[in-house]
Amino acid sequence: MNKTKKMMSGVAAALFAVSVTGCSESSARPAKPSDKGCDDWEFDKDTGTYYCDDSSSGHHGAYYYGGRYYNSKSALKKSSGFASYQKSYKSGIGSSSKGGSFGG
């Protein structure tokens, strides 16, 4: 009976570790911009970028990508290089939880 308890506790610990690391989206996020033009950055899950939520900033509502501000989400999506970035960003979110031996 003692071996069974040890085995079950090991299995439970392994499942817990997998569930904690498999559900983390924050590792897929880029670092917050360090640009001084905005003091309040919010992450936009759709684009994988940050936008300025600082109402006292001249950049309020603008998206930040590649060292530049974009006045709208559509302007950001039209920028060069963004399409390939977003494709890699979208493929990275939750990709560790697809498939596996526990369904999915």
Kindly tell me the burial class for residue 70, based on how many C-beta atoms sit within 10 Å of its own C-beta (0-12, 13-18, 19 or more).
Answer: buried
Strands of the 41-44 sheet, one edge to the other? 41-44, 49-52, 63-65, 68-70
Domain boundaries, the chain: 29-82
* Cα distance between residue 71 and residue 89, in whole Å: 21
Its pTM stands at 0.60
CA–CA distance, 1 with 82 (Å, rounded to integer): 58
pLDDT tens profile 77-90: 999 889 888 888 87
Confidence of residue 38 (pLDDT cuts 50, 70, 90): very high
